[in-house]
Structure 1
Amino acid sequence: MSERLSPRAALVGGLLLWFAVLGGVSAWAVHALAAWSIDELACEAGHDNLAGFPLTGAIALAVLLPAAGAAAALAASVLAWRRVRPNHGDGDERSTGRAHLLAFVGLWLNTLALAMIALGGVAALVLPPCQR
């Protein structure tokens, strides 16, 4: 027998599924914009700090915070993939299968985004800032 969810639970579940799919890619975009623009803008102005905060510390935050967001999205996609399994013979088989596929896509997208954030962070932190 199929158990019906309240509209609020369905909305929260749907939003969580979309976070599981797109959260890591969004975090990667934030990382790419923040880490490199902090470096470029501070160096263009001739500073090696950002409001009294060392430039490498600001770049590290621009790497670690998006990495935490991508890791949270990865955890949400793993949880969704494990919990949403298509039940054969259930009336909602099509929507359950779609949610399972979205969770699987999110699993791979978030893994890729986390790897790209880590590799971009290594490049941003290893290369010396403000080299002219």
Structure 2
Amino acid sequence: MTYTLTATVDLPWTEALDRTRDALSTQGFGILTEINVRSTFEAKLGAEAADAVGDYVILGACNPALASRALPAEPEIGALLPCNVVVRRNKDAAVTTIEAIDPQTMVQLSETPAVKEVADDAGTRLRAALAGLNEATE
């Protein structure tokens, strides 16, 4: 099973990260958390571990309108929020990869119709954000 939605862009690291934030914002997602895995690895495990992972940031994206529909229907679904979006680039890579959790993963864990509706909407929005990244580079 594939559990991510993926886009690959031929952009420098910083530009890919900025465009990802912008594309998510355009689809109604705010960034609640941002984890710089490379910096964390470097601080906790050393430069070798940081180099092995490359540039790697996890964005905790949330669309409040979607969350406000899902949480009342199934409060436990909050354990799966926010939607994680990864922006990563290996030190030897020529492209940057952006991956978002496929909201349909939540549907497999829930039988609540409202959660399915929210997952469908979130999936449409995340796909649009990723497609926008590809269009911006053409």
Higher strand share: 2
After TM superposition, the score normalised by the length of structure 1 is: 0.38
After TM superposition, the score normalised by the length of structure 2 is: 0.36
Which one has the largest radius of gyration? 1
Larger RCO: 1 or 2 (CA < 8 Å, sep 6+): 1
